Amino acid sequence: MLRASHAVFTLLAVALPTATSTAATQSFKGEYTVSFLGLSVAKATFSSSYEGDTYSIDGSVSSAGLATLFDDTQGTISSKGKISGRQLQPQAFRADYKSGKKASMIDIQFANGVVTSTKVVPEPKKRNPKNWIALGASDLASVLDPMAATVVHADSLDKVCGRTVKLYDGEMRANLVLTYASKGSTSVRGYKGETVTCRMGFEPVAGYRKNRKALKYLKDRAVIMVTFAPVGQTGVYAPIHATVTTQIGTLTVSAGRFEATE
């Protein structure tokens, strides 16, 4: 599995407003805070733009509050691709970030829904084949990058949950299984209205070490709840709030802004 800093970027991407457009360009912006045990630990801002059958997403992420005393992380994330039917088809994903003086990067390239190349800096350590679940060619087909994986295309709030998303984060392949939990409403800058909450199950598929305690907890015991809201009239639903239980507390991602921009 990716190192801790990589995981932070994946979790932050869970709070990403996106949309699709078949005509004029549509743009959206989201601003989020990440808190742990009630304390702010990170902030993120994402902007997405859609024109015709293409999309592009750019974001910035940084540590905040007490977290800066232990891990001062700052970076950028970008994702682009095409819209095929009612599904996103990534073409490229990149995350560049620095934790203290250590610089890291993830670059994933796609073609026709298949991963064609992956570059991670620093390179992952050599894996022990005895306890490593290696990726196969089939594992890299019809997958989404960490940002595209957060977007749900549905006809209504009632149909957002009840699906499995194939995620590839640059090293690990996992399935994110969404099941219905509840309906509600929320009000943040740019959005006031109905929401739906799904429980997200995490199922590692390949690209990870057997018997890893953190993964076992995430799969068997963690409670991951994601609340989705509609992005305009696009038929796209994006997370506006998320919580993830960990072995030492709950991580919360909350939108402070979720709106269309000109």
User: Is pLDDT larger for residue 141 or for residue 260?
Assistant: 141
The fraction of the chain above a pLDDT of 90, given in percent, is 52
How many separate domains does the chain show?
Answer: 1
Instruction: Give the domain range for residue 117.
Output: 4-261
| Predicted pLDDT of residue 21 | 39
- Residue 257: partners with Cβ closer than 8 Å, 6 or more residues away: 29, 30, 31, 188, 189, 190
- Tens of pLDDT, residue by residue over 12-50, are 444 344 443 345 677 888 899 999 877 788 898 888 887
**pTM for the structure as a whole:** 0.85
In whole numbers, what is the pLDDT of the chain averaged over residues?
85
